[in-house]
Structure formats: C-alpha cells, structure tokens
C-alpha cells in the first residue's frame, strides 16, 4: 500500500504536468523536444485532487481513497481518507525528504530512496521527471503515428535505470495514453493506461489510470474534485497539518 500511494503521488504530479503541456503549441517532431515538453510539465502549478485507488493484488481487491496536494516541484502531501482505520495518516514530501505520518505513532522519516522508487518501481523517478533529467539518461526516438507520437526511450549504459527501455504513447495534443516499461530481456514489466480525459480550466486531464504489472496485479486510479492553481501556502506542507486534522475530528 505504502509504495503504491507514493506512486500515486508521483503519477498525479506527472498528470498535472502533462495536462499543462497540452496547452502549448505543438513543436516539430524532435523526440527530445517532445520529451522536454513532458518534463517541462512539472514546472510550477499547484494541484489538489481526491484519488480513489482499487488495488488488485493476487485476485483480491482493496480500495483506498486519498486526498493529494502538490505545490511546485518540491512539496506534496497525501492524506488517507479511506479505509477508516488509516484515516488521517499520510505522506509528506519536501524536496528530498519524505515522511510517513500515522496518528498512532506520529511521523516516521522514510529513506529518500522512496521518492526515487515511486514511479513504477525503479523507472524514471519523481526526481528525474520533476527536474527534467529524463532526457539526460535516455536516447529518445520518436515516430509519428495516426493519433500522435510513439516514443522509445533507451537508457544510456551508465544511466541509473534498471529497465531495458520505455515506450510512451502520446496523443497529438500531448496527453499520454500509454506508458510501457520493459525489462532488459524485452519483457513487459508494467504498463499504465490513461483514459477519461477531461477539460478542466483549459487543461486536458486524464482522470483514470490503470496500472498493470507482469504478475497481473492492477491498480485502478480515478481522480475527482480536481483543482489547479490553488492558493496553497508553503506552511500547509508540514507535519503539523496532519495533527490538525486529528484535532478537527
């Protein structure tokens, strides 16, 4: 659960970023420019959303609901709403620091590797995406398709990436449709399919994501109550925020 929630945090920020990119003019078919647009998506905006997760592990489904806030590249906060037993626990990311908070045990600092571990295990990490270093570690090749672009990212031999390659299916308006991670033997490790794209505040935003790994385990994610460009205070991204929720209830 912990790892998947962190993953959701990362994915949400990616989605926010991607939707922002979609608003700009389409550049020529330069794979690095396309990728830079994806990376540039991370810059700036604040975000709020309520995310429902259905996690299917070994044939059993567990549901969770979390509320997410992000501000810029460095700050993110996740509050668990459901299940009831975990209510008001959550995660706080501030730069390279990551904490888990539980009302019962308080705050626990997690190794910063968890941030790097967030997106699809050991793929491009939150850091890679947020700081635009993705294109630095990969050779990028792009093909134009009928509906958009098909990008293949092959990691440099010395890049700290454990995948053999990544494939991205991006629509012509730069909304990511599919992300596929391959191992170094050419086998698919994990896929993420994005759907239910909505227009919100001039952005095109995928509200549903289905992530499936090679073992058949799936995470189905739906985002509701989406808000962009909120007036969030940096002070909100603090462990005290968790405690104040506990006092309110």
Q: Which residues bind other proteins (CB under 8 A)?
A: 111-113, 116-117, 121-122, 155, 157-164, 181, 183-185, 189
CA nearest neighbour of 120 among 38, 11, 1, 2 = 11
Length of the chain: 249
Report the relative pairing of strands 106-110 and 97-102 from DSSP bridges.
Answer: antiparallel
Q: Please, which residue, 130 or 171, has the CB nearer to other proteins?
A: 130
Calpha distance 151→46 (Å, rounded): 28
Compute the least distance from the CB of residue 247 to other proteins, in Å.
Answer: 32
Calpha distance 55→37 (Å, rounded): 30
Phi/psi at 245 (5° precision): -65, -40
Compute the least distance from the CB of residue 123 to other proteins, in Å.
Answer: 8
CA dist 226 to 48, 73, 100, 147, 201, Å?
6, 18, 24, 26, 10
Q: Please, which residue, 90 or 155, has the CB nearer to other proteins?
A: 155
Compute the least distance from the CB of residue 122 to other proteins, in Å.
Answer: 4
Compute the least distance from the CB of residue 95 to other proteins, in Å.
Answer: 12
Asked if residue 87 lies in contact with residue 93, where contact means CB atoms within 8 angstroms, the answer is no
Q: Please, which residue, 17 or 155, has the CB nearer to other proteins?
A: 155
Calpha distance 178→48 (Å, rounded): 23
Report the relative pairing of strands 203-213 and 75-82 from DSSP bridges.
Answer: unpaired
Q: Please, which residue, 112 or 208, has the CB nearer to other proteins?
A: 112
Compute the least distance from the CB of residue 188 to other proteins, in Å.
Answer: 10
Asked if residue 52 lies in contact with residue 62, where contact means CB atoms within 8 angstroms, the answer is no
Q: Please, which residue, 51 or 161, has the CB nearer to other proteins?
A: 161
Q: Please, which residue, 6 or 20, has the CB nearer to other proteins?
A: 6
Compute the least distance from the CB of residue 184 to other proteins, in Å.
Answer: 5
């Amino acid at each position: 659960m912990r790892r998947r929630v962190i993953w959701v945090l990362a994915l949400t920020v990616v989605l926010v970023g991607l939707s922002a990119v979609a608003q700009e003019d389409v550049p020529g078919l330069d794979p690095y420019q396309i990728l830079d647009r994806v990376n540039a998506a991370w810059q700036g905006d604040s975000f709020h959303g309520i995310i429902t997760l259905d996690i299917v592990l070994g044939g059993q489904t567990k549901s969770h609901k979390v509320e997410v806030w992000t501000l810029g590249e460095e700050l993110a906060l996740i509050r668990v709403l459901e299940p009831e037993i975990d209510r008001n626990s959550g995660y706080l990311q501030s730069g390279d620091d990551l904490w888990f908070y539980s009302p019962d045990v308080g705050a626990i600092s997690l190794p910063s590797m968890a941030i790097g571990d967030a997106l699809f295990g050991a793929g491009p990490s939150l850091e890679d995406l947020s700081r635009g270093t993705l294109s630095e570690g990969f050779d990028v090749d792009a093909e134009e398709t009928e509906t958009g672009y098909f990008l293949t990212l092959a990691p440099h031999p010395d890049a700290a990436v454990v995948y053999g390659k990544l494939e991205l299916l991006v629509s012509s308006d730069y909304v990511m449709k599919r992300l596929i991670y391959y191992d170094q033997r050419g086998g698919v490790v994990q896929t993420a399919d994005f759907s239910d794209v909505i227009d919100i505040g001039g952005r095109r935003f995928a509200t549903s994501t289905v992530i499936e790994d090679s073992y058949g385990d799936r995470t189905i994610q739906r985002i509701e109550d989406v808000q962009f460009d909120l007036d969030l205070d940096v002070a909100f991204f603090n462990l005290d925020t968790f405690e104040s929720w506990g006092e309110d209830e």
